[in-house]
Amino acid sequence: MELSLIRSLMDKEFYEEHRGAKCPDRLFSKDVRKIKSAIDKAMDRYERTVTPDEIEALFMSNNPSMTTAQKQAYSSLFKQIKKELPLGTDVAQEVLSKLFQQVVGEDIANLGFDYVNGSKSTLEPLRNVLELYADDFTPNLKIEWDDISIETLLERNDLEARWTFNIPCLTRKVEGVNAGHLIEVGARPNTGKTSFHASLIASPNGFAQQGAKCIILCNEESAHRVGARYLTSATGMTMHQIRKDPSKARELYEVVKKNIHIKDASNRDMAWVESICKAYKPDIVVLDMGDKFARTGGFARTDEALKANAIHARQIAKQHQCAIFYMSQLSAEAEGKVYLNQAMMEGSRTGKAAEADLMILIAKDTVKNPDSGEEESPARHLNIVKNKLSGWHGVEHCELDYVTARYQ
């Protein structure tokens, strides 16, 4: 192997790529090391690819004091080199990388023994080794680069909205979502977060009717209460009307029920969510509420735990090819406001917002005279505060029919 490497080093291009500390003389045995030194001198002097015959001539002429036995030994060694074919560039690079790592590893291991035995009292020798080889440590890594041809990019971007929104005002600005997307939805309590995802999934032309396999993991309200929202959203009937005419409700509900799966996820974490996605391969996952899947142990601050939780959710979406809707509360700062921003996400600085592909914050109008018996307005304001999907930011206005859990 070392003779094949010597043969490869006679090529000017390969030599320049691996000269110096990347290919130290210590990689070779004692006799071959002297031939490597002759190659180094030839490359510096002639700056071109050299042949084994040329290196042999230079080596013999520069070592006239060798004995007859030494000359014969080196002549035999050169004959073997001439029979060797240069290694392919990719193979030679991998072999050199492995040998180089072994040499550096030996240096560090020897220093380790010196530290254990007490013969070294500072970290300076180790620091010197790291500084010497830091830029030359070639990892054994082969990357298959992503296809960024025009055809591929056009095709992939055409698929960005595989699952389209069924709220017209929202669809005009953000057509839909696809696998790998993390969509964060925030609102104050009693604004209609659960109704929002129920409407997107179960109401007419929703994700379920489009054929998406949807999993809803709820850890705030009980599963049967969330399920009731999905039932009324799918049928367009109130619970009272469903009790009076269950056959009609069943006919409307069965259209989407096969694609909707709801599970109480109280006291579960994001690792459990990942196992669900791995086992059941959903297209759409709703985490209601997303922050409650976070584990705070090991974090100095709550926002750090929530950031890690959002990062994990995004990784799940990408790795398991699903779109994740991460439901979250907004802080008290958002109370009574129509125009909302990312900083109003409860318990988080910028961690959660940094991970989102799309962030929708829902606002509602406040009741100005609650003592007069004034009813709450059905108006809802969808603030698109982060949007990597279409780039549009702003507010779209719609209405929530709270008795059927439909946004329209």
Do residue 89 and residue 178 come from a single domain?
no
Q: Is 370 left (phi over 0), alpha (psi -120 to 50) or beta?
A: alpha
Taking the C-alpha atoms of residue 389 and residue 173, their distance in angstroms, rounded to an integer, is 10
- Cis geometry, peptide bond prior to residue 289 (ω within 30 degrees of 0): yes
Do residue 187 and residue 111 come from a single domain?
no
How far does Cα 61 stand from its chain's mean position?
Answer: 59
What pLDDT is recorded for position 133?
62
Do residue 223 and residue 104 come from a single domain?
no
- Residue 153 resides in a domain: no
| Residue at which a domain ends, from 136, 168, 191 | 136
Do residue 176 and residue 296 come from a single domain?
yes
Q: Which residues of the chain have pLDDT under 50?
A: none
CATH number of the domain that residue 129 is part of: 1.10.860
| Residue at which a domain ends, from 84, 105, 136 | 136
- Residue 148 resides in a domain: no
Taking the C-alpha atoms of residue 408 and residue 398, their distance in angstroms, rounded to an integer, is 6
CA 205, 188, 398: angle at the middle one, nearest 5?
35
Report in angstroms the alpha-carbon separations of 374 from 318, 337, 367, 403, 405.
46, 19, 7, 18, 21
- Residue 236 resides in a domain: yes
pTM listed for this prediction: 0.67
Do residue 217 and residue 339 come from a single domain?
yes
CATH number of the domain that residue 168 is part of: 3.40.50.300
Do residue 100 and residue 178 come from a single domain?
no
* DSSP sequence for 176-197: EE-TT-EEEEEE-TTS-HHHHH
Do residue 207 and residue 354 come from a single domain?
yes
- Residue 144 resides in a domain: no
- Residue 364 resides in a domain: yes
What pLDDT is recorded for position 319?
93
Taking the C-alpha atoms of residue 134 and residue 136, their distance in angstroms, rounded to an integer, is 6
- Residue 343 resides in a domain: yes
Do residue 188 and residue 327 come from a single domain?
yes
Do residue 83 and residue 214 come from a single domain?
no
User: Which residue range is the domain that position 253 belongs to?
Assistant: 159-407
- Residue 143 resides in a domain: no
Do residue 90 and residue 189 come from a single domain?
no
Taking the C-alpha atoms of residue 130 and residue 60, their distance in angstroms, rounded to an integer, is 37
Number of domains in the chain: 2
- Residue 400 resides in a domain: yes
Do residue 121 and residue 186 come from a single domain?
no
Do residue 164 and residue 126 come from a single domain?
no
What pLDDT is recorded for position 105?
76
| Residue at which a domain ends, from 136, 167, 183 | 136
